[in-house]
Amino acid sequence: MSTPPSNLPSDDIPAARRQSPQSASAPTAARRRGRWVAVASSLVGAIALVGLGLWQRDRLSAQVNVIQAVILPLKSSANAAGDRSLPAANLPEPSTDSADPSPPEQLLNHRHYDTALPQDLVPLNSKSQIRLRPAAQAKVVAMIAKAKSEGVQLGIISGFRSLEDQQYLFFDVKAERGETSKTRAEVSAPPGYSEHHTGYAVDFIDESNPATHLEESFETTAAYQWLEQNAAFYNFEMSFPKDSASPLSYEPWHWRYVGDQESLELFYKE
């Protein structure tokens, strides 16, 4: 039986086992120093990143402030000009030939009037389809009652008119009679320009003399004579009196209520 050799060649011993305890401790210390260096480098890098982030934040904030200082005034100017997509300096000039949505204040010598709302009107009485403003209705009822108590057959044939009513009375009748617009406007207002739209105007009649309804001959009736003497006591006045200088025809039957601030300002506004 052979005895194993006591001294093996150095090539047969693994490299890790060839080191002495002293020589093996040197790499361990080096690794520890390497770790500390890596940790320190990481900390330095992290601190650098934080500082860079804060610097970038301040820089971004400054940029935002600059942008706001430049953009917001432009945006405000564009909004004021009605176009948010363009700076004020590049906005087009407003068109001067665009249609005005508001109707002319006067047309063919007639003044424009807003049409009374249905809820602002009341019937003349329970059996009538004629509607008026409450203040005017109360006075008309009182006038008719007073006149009839004196033997005068005062009545009314027309009160509030809608735009559709006036459309027929102006355009359709004009076409039926072959009248020009100016000729028709002498006796009938265009739609939107009749006092009847207000609910304050009425056409009186003499119920005992139908042939005079809506005719100048109404001035010969007892009903007209009664109106001349008494209408002012009820805050009614003739809208189109006889006047040679007026372009509008004389209408002795057409009267309007001017007994409160609203009606007065409505008919006498400049």
pLDDT tens-digit map of 13-32: 444 444 444 444 445 555 55
**Residues 51, 156 within the same domain:** no
Q: Determine the 3-state secondary structure of 86 from DSSP.
A: coil
**Residues 50, 151 within the same domain:** no
**Residues 132, 201 within the same domain:** yes
Q: What is the residue whose two structure tokens read 């480098």?
A: 41
Q: What is the DSSP letter of 251?
A: E
What was the pLDDT predicted at 221? 98
**Residues 43, 153 within the same domain:** no
What count of other Cβ atoms lies within 10 Å of the Cβ of residue 187?
Answer: 16
Domains held by the chain: number: 2
**Residues 151, 232 within the same domain:** yes
Q: What percent of the chain has pLDDT over 70?
A: 63
**Whole-angstrom distance, CA of residue 212 vs CA of residue 46:** 106
**Residues 254, 121 within the same domain:** yes
Domain that holds residue 54: 31-81
**Residues 71, 151 within the same domain:** no
**Residues 129, 64 within the same domain:** no
Specify if 201 maps to a domain. Answer: yes
Q: What is the residue whose two structure tokens read 């770790």?
A: 35
| Side-chain-side CA neighbours of residue 31 (13 Å) | 5
- At residue 238, φ and ψ (nearest 5 deg) are -75, 135
Specify if 177 maps to a domain. Answer: no
CATH assignment at residue 251: 3.30.1380.10
Which residues is 205 bridged to in the sheet? Answer: 155
Q: Is the pLDDT of residue 94 over 50?
A: yes
Confidence of residue 88 (pLDDT cuts 50, 70, 90): very low
Specify if 228 maps to a domain. Answer: yes
For residues 116-121, give the mean pLDDT: 98
Confidence of residue 97 (pLDDT cuts 50, 70, 90): low
What was the pLDDT predicted at 204? 98
Least Cα distance to 147 among 207, 190, 106 occurs for: 207
Specify if 53 maps to a domain. Answer: yes
**Residues 122, 209 within the same domain:** yes
Q: Is the pLDDT of residue 112 over 70?
A: yes
Specify if 99 maps to a domain. Answer: no
Q: Determine the 3-state secondary structure of 30 from DSSP.
A: helix
Q: Is the pLDDT of residue 136 over 60?
A: yes
Specify if 155 maps to a domain. Answer: yes
Radius of gyration of the chain measured on its C-alpha atoms: 50
Read off the tokens for 199. Answer: 């609910």
Q: Strands 110-111 and 106-107: what pairing? A: antiparallel
**Residues 209, 252 within the same domain:** yes
Condensed to tens digits (0 to 9), the pLDDT of residues 189-237 reads 999 999 999 999 999 999 999 999 999 999 999 999 999 999 999 999 9
Q: Is the pLDDT of residue 186 over 80?
A: yes
Q: What is the pTM of this model?
A: 0.64
